[in-house]
Amino acid sequence: MAKTYTTVQGDMWDSIAYKTLGSVNFTDRLMMVNRWYLNLYTFPAGIILTIPEIKQGSTGGSLPPWKRSSLPCRTGRASGPGAGLPA
């Protein structure tokens, strides 16, 4: 039987992934098995989500798309707003 989670008012995808799967790195997997709720950013209470099965030892792969940087750091270090961007 699939594991489920019932949302509370104010839950968000990444916080649910952290609570149920142990890492925000699994947010994309959580979203893909619950595609019919992708239009929600902040959940109301009472939504029943399916929790994906994660293999033991998995680290979640990569960051969710919205947390990935599309700009490479040109200086080799990131230290604040605009870090790595030309002056």
Q: What percent of the chain has pLDDT over 70?
A: 63
Average pLDDT, the chain: 81
Are the C-beta atoms of residues 73 and 56 closer than 8 Å to each other?
Answer: no
Q: Of 16, 17, 23, nearest to 59 (Cα)? A: 23
Fold adopted by 3-53: Membrane-bound Lytic Murein Transglycosylase D; Chain A (3.10.350)
Q: What is the pLDDT at residue 55? A: 80
Q: Please state the domain extents for the chain.
A: 3-53
Mean per-residue pLDDT, 58-80 = 58
Q: Of 32, 33, 28, nearest to 14 (Cα)? A: 28
Query: Is residue 24's pLDDT more than 60?
Result: yes
Of 24-33, 36-45, 66-75, minimum mean pLDDT range: 66-75
Are the C-beta atoms of residues 87 and 74 closer than 8 Å to each other?
Answer: no
- Tokens read off for 53: 């099965």
pLDDT: which is higher, 74 or 43: 43
Tell me if the pTM is above 0.85: no
Q: What percent of the chain has pLDDT over 90?
A: 59
